[in-house]
Protein backbone atom coordinates (compact mmCIF):
# COMPACT_ATOMS: atom_id res chain seq x y z
CA UNK A 1 0.00 0.00 0.00
CA UNK A 2 2.23 2.84 -1.26
CA UNK A 3 -0.28 5.57 -0.42
CA UNK A 4 -0.55 4.48 3.19
CA UNK A 5 3.22 4.15 3.37
CA UNK A 6 3.72 7.66 2.02
CA UNK A 7 1.20 9.20 4.38
CA UNK A 8 2.65 7.34 7.34
CA UNK A 9 6.07 8.50 6.23
CA UNK A 10 4.96 12.12 6.25
CA UNK A 11 3.54 11.83 9.75
CA UNK A 12 6.62 10.01 10.97
CA UNK A 13 8.90 12.61 9.40
CA UNK A 14 6.98 15.32 11.17
CA UNK A 15 7.38 13.33 14.38
CA UNK A 16 3.66 13.25 14.82
CA UNK A 17 2.47 9.80 13.80
CA UNK A 18 2.21 8.73 17.41
CA UNK A 19 0.14 11.81 18.18
CA UNK A 20 -2.06 11.33 15.10
CA UNK A 21 -2.76 7.72 16.08
CA UNK A 22 -3.09 7.94 19.87
CA UNK A 23 -3.28 11.62 20.89
CA UNK A 24 -6.51 12.20 22.76
CA UNK A 25 -7.18 15.44 20.87
CA UNK A 26 -6.04 14.17 17.45
CA UNK A 27 -8.67 14.27 14.71
CA UNK A 28 -6.23 13.24 11.99
CA UNK A 29 -7.85 9.87 11.29
CA UNK A 30 -11.41 10.56 12.43
CA UNK A 31 -13.34 13.24 14.29
CA UNK A 32 -13.31 12.77 18.03
CA UNK A 33 -13.88 14.72 21.21
CA UNK A 34 -12.26 14.34 24.60
CA UNK A 35 -14.15 16.69 26.91
CA UNK A 36 -17.40 18.60 27.32
CA UNK A 37 -18.08 22.28 27.96
CA UNK A 38 -15.59 23.82 30.40
CA UNK A 39 -18.25 26.22 31.66
CA UNK A 40 -20.56 23.55 33.02
CA UNK A 41 -19.88 21.85 36.37
CA UNK A 42 -20.41 18.38 34.95
CA UNK A 43 -18.43 15.15 34.66
CA UNK A 44 -18.99 12.01 32.59
CA UNK A 45 -18.01 8.57 33.86
CA UNK A 46 -17.26 6.11 31.06
CA UNK A 47 -16.51 2.40 31.47
CA UNK A 48 -14.76 0.40 28.75
CA UNK A 49 -14.23 -3.23 27.78
CA UNK A 50 -17.35 -4.77 29.33
CA UNK A 51 -19.86 -6.00 29.93
CA UNK A 52 -18.43 -8.56 32.35
CA UNK A 53 -19.42 -10.64 35.36
CA UNK A 54 -18.30 -7.70 37.45
CA UNK A 55 -20.53 -5.08 35.81
CA UNK A 56 -23.61 -5.68 38.04
CA UNK A 57 -21.58 -4.67 41.13
CA UNK A 58 -20.74 -1.40 39.41
CA UNK A 59 -24.39 -0.88 38.41
CA UNK A 60 -25.31 -1.24 42.07
CA UNK A 61 -22.89 1.49 43.14
CA UNK A 62 -24.05 3.83 40.37
CA UNK A 63 -27.69 3.20 41.36
CA UNK A 64 -26.97 3.94 45.02
CA UNK A 65 -25.54 7.31 44.06
CA UNK A 66 -28.07 7.86 41.24
CA UNK A 67 -25.32 8.53 38.75
CA UNK A 68 -25.69 7.83 35.00
CA UNK A 69 -22.69 6.64 33.00
CA UNK A 70 -21.67 5.58 29.51
CA UNK A 71 -20.50 2.02 28.83
CA UNK A 72 -18.21 1.49 25.83
CA UNK A 73 -18.98 -2.16 25.19
CA UNK A 74 -17.12 -4.74 23.12
CA UNK A 75 -19.47 -6.73 20.87
CA UNK A 76 -17.83 -10.03 21.84
CA UNK A 77 -18.44 -9.30 25.52
CA UNK A 78 -22.07 -8.36 24.82
CA UNK A 79 -22.51 -11.81 23.24
CA UNK A 80 -20.90 -13.39 26.33
CA UNK A 81 -23.05 -11.40 28.75
CA UNK A 82 -26.26 -10.35 26.95
CA UNK A 83 -28.25 -10.16 30.17
CA UNK A 84 -25.71 -7.84 31.80
CA UNK A 85 -25.67 -5.65 28.67
CA UNK A 86 -29.45 -5.29 28.92
CA UNK A 87 -29.18 -4.47 32.63
CA UNK A 88 -26.82 -1.61 31.82
CA UNK A 89 -29.39 -0.08 29.46
CA UNK A 90 -32.44 -0.73 31.63
CA UNK A 91 -30.65 1.02 34.52
CA UNK A 92 -30.63 4.17 32.38
CA UNK A 93 -27.01 4.18 31.25
CA UNK A 94 -25.86 4.92 27.73
CA UNK A 95 -24.18 2.39 25.42
CA UNK A 96 -21.03 3.19 23.44
CA UNK A 97 -19.24 1.11 20.80
CA UNK A 98 -15.72 -0.10 21.69
CA UNK A 99 -15.23 -2.45 18.66
CA UNK A 100 -16.04 -6.14 18.61
CA UNK A 101 -12.87 -7.90 19.74
CA UNK A 102 -10.75 -4.95 20.94
CA UNK A 103 -7.92 -5.09 18.37
CA UNK A 104 -5.37 -2.36 17.73
CA UNK A 105 -6.38 -0.64 14.49
CA UNK A 106 -2.95 0.54 13.34
CA UNK A 107 -1.77 -1.16 10.13
CA UNK A 108 -5.17 -2.83 9.67
CA UNK A 109 -7.29 -2.39 6.53
CA UNK A 110 -10.31 -0.07 6.32
CA UNK A 111 -12.48 -3.16 5.74
CA UNK A 112 -11.21 -4.75 8.93
CA UNK A 113 -11.81 -1.57 10.92
CA UNK A 114 -15.32 -1.12 9.53
CA UNK A 115 -16.13 -4.79 10.13
CA UNK A 116 -15.09 -4.64 13.80
CA UNK A 117 -17.17 -1.57 14.54
CA UNK A 118 -20.18 -2.64 12.46
CA UNK A 119 -20.34 -6.06 14.15
CA UNK A 120 -20.21 -4.48 17.60
CA UNK A 121 -22.90 -1.97 16.63
CA UNK A 122 -25.18 -4.72 15.33
CA UNK A 123 -24.61 -6.87 18.42
CA UNK A 124 -25.31 -4.02 20.86
CA UNK A 125 -28.46 -2.90 19.02
CA UNK A 126 -29.84 -6.42 18.68
CA UNK A 127 -29.08 -7.35 22.28
CA UNK A 128 -30.08 -4.20 24.13
CA UNK A 129 -32.37 -2.35 21.69
CA UNK A 130 -30.23 0.77 22.17
CA UNK A 131 -27.97 2.12 19.41
CA UNK A 132 -24.61 3.59 20.40
CA UNK A 133 -23.90 7.09 19.09
CA UNK A 134 -20.28 7.14 20.21
CA UNK A 135 -17.21 5.08 19.43
CA UNK A 136 -14.06 4.76 21.51
CA UNK A 137 -11.08 3.22 19.71
CA UNK A 138 -9.42 0.28 21.50
CA UNK A 139 -6.22 1.54 23.18
CA UNK A 140 -7.15 4.96 21.77
CA UNK A 141 -5.55 3.92 18.45
CA UNK A 142 -7.05 5.53 15.33
CA UNK A 143 -6.06 4.65 11.77
CA UNK A 144 -6.85 5.10 8.07
CA UNK A 145 -10.42 4.05 7.34
CA UNK A 146 -11.78 4.95 10.75
CA UNK A 147 -13.23 8.25 9.55
CA UNK A 148 -15.28 6.51 6.84
CA UNK A 149 -16.35 3.73 9.21
CA UNK A 150 -17.60 6.24 11.79
CA UNK A 151 -19.45 8.17 9.07
CA UNK A 152 -21.12 5.04 7.69
CA UNK A 153 -22.28 4.01 11.15
CA UNK A 154 -23.18 7.50 12.36
CA UNK A 155 -20.71 7.41 15.26
CA UNK A 156 -18.75 10.24 16.87
CA UNK A 157 -15.36 9.35 18.30
CA UNK A 158 -14.90 9.91 22.04
CA UNK A 159 -11.52 9.81 23.78
CA UNK A 160 -11.12 10.95 27.39
CA UNK A 161 -10.00 13.87 29.52
CA UNK A 162 -8.64 11.65 32.31
CA UNK A 163 -7.49 8.05 31.88
CA UNK A 164 -8.17 6.32 35.21
CA UNK A 165 -5.45 3.62 35.00
CA UNK A 166 -7.79 1.48 37.07
CA UNK A 167 -6.62 -1.69 35.30
CA UNK A 168 -3.19 -1.44 36.93
CA UNK A 169 -3.34 0.92 39.91
CA UNK A 170 -4.74 0.36 43.41
CA UNK A 171 -8.03 2.08 44.18
CA UNK A 172 -6.55 4.84 46.37
CA UNK A 173 -4.22 5.93 43.59
CA UNK A 174 -7.03 5.86 41.01
CA UNK A 175 -9.28 7.83 43.38
CA UNK A 176 -6.57 10.39 44.03
CA UNK A 177 -6.03 10.87 40.29
CA UNK A 178 -9.74 11.34 39.61
CA UNK A 179 -10.19 13.81 42.46
CA UNK A 180 -7.09 15.72 41.45
CA UNK A 181 -7.93 15.89 37.73
CA UNK A 182 -11.70 16.52 38.00
CA UNK A 183 -12.63 19.67 36.09
CA UNK A 184 -15.65 21.11 34.32
CA UNK A 185 -16.68 18.94 31.38
CA UNK A 186 -14.14 16.19 32.09
CA UNK A 187 -14.71 12.72 30.67
CA UNK A 188 -13.24 10.00 32.91
CA UNK A 189 -12.19 6.70 31.33
CA UNK A 190 -12.48 3.66 33.60
CA UNK A 191 -13.08 -0.05 32.99
CA UNK A 192 -15.77 -2.58 33.93
CA UNK A 193 -14.19 -5.43 31.99
CA UNK A 194 -11.15 -6.58 30.10
CA UNK A 195 -11.10 -7.04 26.37
CA UNK A 196 -10.31 -10.75 26.51
CA UNK A 197 -10.28 -12.08 30.08
CA UNK A 198 -13.36 -13.42 31.77
CA UNK A 199 -14.16 -12.58 35.39
CA UNK A 200 -11.92 -9.53 35.52
CA UNK A 201 -10.91 -8.09 38.86
CA UNK A 202 -12.37 -4.57 38.90
CA UNK A 203 -12.23 -4.00 42.66
CA UNK A 204 -9.98 -0.97 42.21
CA UNK A 205 -12.57 0.56 39.87
CA UNK A 206 -15.47 -0.18 42.22
CA UNK A 207 -13.70 1.20 45.28
CA UNK A 208 -12.50 4.30 43.46
CA UNK A 209 -15.98 5.07 42.06
CA UNK A 210 -17.63 4.52 45.43
CA UNK A 211 -15.13 6.86 47.08
CA UNK A 212 -14.95 9.68 44.54
CA UNK A 213 -18.58 10.09 43.44
CA UNK A 214 -19.88 11.55 46.75
CA UNK A 215 -16.76 13.69 47.10
CA UNK A 216 -17.19 15.15 43.62
CA UNK A 217 -20.89 15.75 44.24
CA UNK A 218 -19.91 17.72 47.35
CA UNK A 219 -17.67 19.81 45.13
CA UNK A 220 -20.72 20.66 43.00
CA UNK A 221 -20.21 18.32 40.04
CA UNK A 222 -23.18 16.72 38.28
CA UNK A 223 -22.65 13.36 36.60
CA UNK A 224 -23.89 13.04 33.03
CA UNK A 225 -23.83 10.63 30.11
CA UNK A 226 -21.50 11.43 27.21
CA UNK A 227 -24.52 12.50 25.08
CA UNK A 228 -25.53 15.01 27.66
CA UNK A 229 -22.12 16.38 28.53
CA UNK A 230 -21.45 16.99 24.83
CA UNK A 231 -24.92 18.29 24.02
CA UNK A 232 -26.55 19.62 27.19
CA UNK A 233 -29.67 20.91 25.49
CA UNK A 234 -30.71 17.50 24.16
ZN1 LIG B 1 -10.56 -0.83 25.86
Cβ within 8 Å of residue 204, ≥6 positions away: 166, 167, 169, 170, 171, 174
What pLDDT score was predicted for residue 199? Answer: 81
For residue 2, how far is its CA from the centre of ligand 1 (angstroms)? Answer: 30
What pLDDT score was predicted for residue 139? Answer: 95
Neighbour count for residue 86 (Cβ, 10 Å):
16
CA distances from 41 to 13, 161, 182, 185, 218 (A): 41, 14, 10, 7, 12
For residue 109, how far is its CA from the centre of ligand 1 (angstroms)? Answer: 20
Catalytic residue among 48, 100, 166, 192: 48
d(CA 112, CA 105): 8
What pLDDT score was predicted for residue 3? Answer: 55
What pLDDT score was predicted for residue 232? Answer: 83
Task: List, run by run, the mean pLDDT of 10-residue segments along the chain (234 residues).
Answer: 56 74 90 93 98 97 98 97 98 98 96 98 98 97 96 97 96 98 98 85 97 98 97 78
CA 179, 183, 186, 190: dihedral to nearest 10 degrees?
Answer: -10
Residue 93 known to be catalytic = no
What pLDDT score was predicted for residue 8? Answer: 58
Catalytic residue among 93, 102, 191, 192: 191
What pLDDT score was predicted for residue 1? Answer: 46
Residue 48 known to be catalytic = yes
For residue 164, how far is its CA from the centre of ligand 1 (angstroms)? Answer: 12
Amino acid sequence: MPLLGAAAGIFAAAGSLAYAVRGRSSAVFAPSVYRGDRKRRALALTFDDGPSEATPALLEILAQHQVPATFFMCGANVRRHPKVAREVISAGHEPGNHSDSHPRFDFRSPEFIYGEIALAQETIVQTTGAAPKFFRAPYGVRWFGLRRAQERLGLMGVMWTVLGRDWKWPSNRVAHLLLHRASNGAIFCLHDGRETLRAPDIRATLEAVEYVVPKLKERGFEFETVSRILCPRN
